[in-house]
A and B are shown apart, each in its own frame.
Chain A
Amino acid sequence: MKVMNCPLNGPRNISEFAWGGEVKPMPDPATMGDKEWAAWLFLEANEAGLVREWWCHVPTSYWFIAERNNITDEIIKTYPATELFNTRVEFAAKAPSGSGEKK
């Protein structure tokens, strides 16, 4: 079985992990409209080649980042999410000022 190196738990069988999809820059939740939010949520680059993704070690619920070559099926490196994300995201929405473009 393929082995992935979990930054928290070390090398584990790939079946212990869940694929979380590509890392995408999140637009500011306080100012973006509904369409922008949907686009961030649903649209994918779905690149062929080197990709940077979220993965989760399921038994320990630990989310981290993995870089893979998705053509050759090689895991290139794995590291804690804190290496990419080091500031807190504020979700407290501002008063709606006509930003939520309703359809």
Chain B
Amino acid sequence: MIPAFVPLKILRYGFRKKYPAERFIPKQQDLKKSYDVVIIGGGGHALACAYYLAKTHGITNVCILERGYLAGGNTARNTAIIRSNYLTPEGVRFYEQSLNLYRDFSQELDFNILYSERGHFTLAHTDAAVRTSRWRAEVNKQLGVDSELIYPDEIARLCPHLNMSDHVRYPIMGALYHPPGSIARHDAVAWAYARGAAKLGVEIHQQTPVTGLIVENGTIKGVQTSRGTVYANRVMQAVAGNTSVVAKMAGFRLPIKTIPLQACVSVPLKPFLDQIIVSGSLHVYVSQSSRGELVMGGSTDPYGLYGTRSTLDFKEGLLGHMLELLPMLGEVKVMRQWAGMTDMTPDFSPVMGLTPVKNYYIDSGWGTWGFKATPVCGMTMAHTIANDSPHDLIKPFYLDRFVDYQQVGEKGAASVGH
């Protein structure tokens, strides 16, 4: 029992002026007439980019325009899996750099993002999937990424809760094991970048949708917003599911379809699942958060939508497969279900860098896999904007790769969201 006077003490403490709550970003000001850089969207990618623009490149006259509230898009909706065991060398190099930034993140930004290394297991249920796992493991090792193909005895030892039975629809034949696979608190990532950027002078404006772009002679001049026109020397868009809508204002089309991705969490359970388990064939992935909830997701919706409704079809399909992997979850209840709008590319790689409009940059095509890339996207896009030239790491992801037949086929992403 807590003595009765403790709540009173806490209340008194809370009202004391001596320890004011920290404000992460200053109260909203008026918009200035012009900025060096305007960033459309206020998700993790935009905030990271603003932070690195200010910190690395000394560009602080920067304004972020977010139509809703800060990081309320896919940054708030993802299942927070971080890994670098992709298939293409271009992808592996890029994501590995992101992991390196994530490892130092809490220190550098003085903000605990609950970065937690769990070990990531991509289960293989067919010969073809085993072959792809070996292929990925070899590419990964070549590039210095800790990744290996393991077989059922080893899987059973490392993941004692998995149903390793042969008497299921898709028995487990092997797994790609990636020890550095992690989860982190996604909101904290965005807030840390927001606070860091704001401290360096970046302005963050919420509830300010961009409604039009001002392009003259093929060069961006500024943006129209619900609060008037804002001029800028350089503009970047990082708006996830709304990518094509904003790009249309700039006058170009993209190889992107907007498709919902759904996820759900169970009621909190005692910690029992340390690992991140993913199965491409079963379209499920699951990890246990630091609050004890099982965070679960599957593949993208069967058709495109500009909406975030949840469906029973998704839940039934996902949980049916989940019970095959972890049958003891049979009595566990789902607590929450939600969706985000993802910007899917046909080759499962992002579209980043320059655009047909001069001084207008894009960070898009992040689909179901962009949370893990938040730091590296911020870093490379800030470099791209500051130098008006793409960072080496993102050169393969240029927009025209599609008409040049230079796609970066990222099978390591598959249609499973992670």
Question: How many whole Å from B345's CB to the nearest CB in chain A?
Answer: 9
Partner of A70 from B242, B302, B305 at Cβ < 8 Å = B305
> For residue B405, which residues in chain A have a CB less than 8 angstroms away from its CB?
34, 38, 103
> For residue A71, which residues in chain B have a CB less than 8 angstroms away from its CB?
305-307
Question: How many whole Å from B342's CB to the nearest CB in chain A?
Answer: 12
Question: How many whole Å from B241's CB to the nearest CB in chain A?
Answer: 9
Question: How many whole Å from B234's CB to the nearest CB in chain A?
Answer: 24
| Assembly CA distance A29 to B211 (angstroms) | 37
Partner of A44 from B256, B302, B303, B309 at Cβ < 8 Å = B256
For B243, B306, B346, the residue with the greatest tally of chain A CB atoms inside 10 Å of its CB is: B306
Known: A15-B313, A73-B309. Is A42-B402 also a contact (CB below 8 A)? yes
| Assembly CA distance A63 to B255 (angstroms) | 23
For A21, A42, A44, A46, the residue with the greatest tally of chain B CB atoms inside 10 Å of its CB is: A46
> For residue B248, which residues in chain A have a CB less than 8 angstroms away from its CB?
45, 47
Size category, A interface: 20 to 34
B side interface size, CB within 8 A:
25
| Assembly CA distance A44 to B405 (angstroms) | 16
| Assembly CA distance A14 to B303 (angstroms) | 10
B289-328: which residues lie under 8 A (CB-CB) from chain A?
Answer: 302-307, 309, 312-313
Q: A93 an interface residue at 8 Å Cβ cutoff?
A: no
Report yes or no: B302 in contact with A43, Cβ–Cβ below 8 A. Answer: no
Report yes or no: A14 in contact with B253, Cβ–Cβ below 8 A. Answer: no
| Assembly CA distance A19 to B346 (angstroms) | 14
Q: B245 an interface residue at 8 Å Cβ cutoff?
A: yes
| Assembly CA distance A44 to B256 (angstroms) | 6
A30-87: which residues lie under 8 A (CB-CB) from chain B?
Answer: 34-35, 38-39, 42-49, 70-73
> For residue B404, which residues in chain A have a CB less than 8 angstroms away from its CB?
35, 38, 103
Question: How many whole Å from A65's CB to the nearest CB in chain B?
Answer: 14
List residues of B whose CB falls within 8 A of some A CB: 242-245, 248, 253-258, 302-307, 309, 312-313, 346, 402-405
List residues of A whose CB falls within 8 A of some B CB: 1, 14-15, 17-19, 21, 34-35, 38-39, 42-49, 70-73, 103
Beyond known contacts A45-B253, A48-B242: 18 more, CB 8 A cutoff: A1-B312, A15-B313, A18-B302, A19-B302, A19-B304, A21-B257, A38-B402, A38-B404, A38-B405, A43-B402, A44-B253, A44-B256, A46-B244, A48-B245, A48-B258, A70-B304, A71-B307, A73-B309
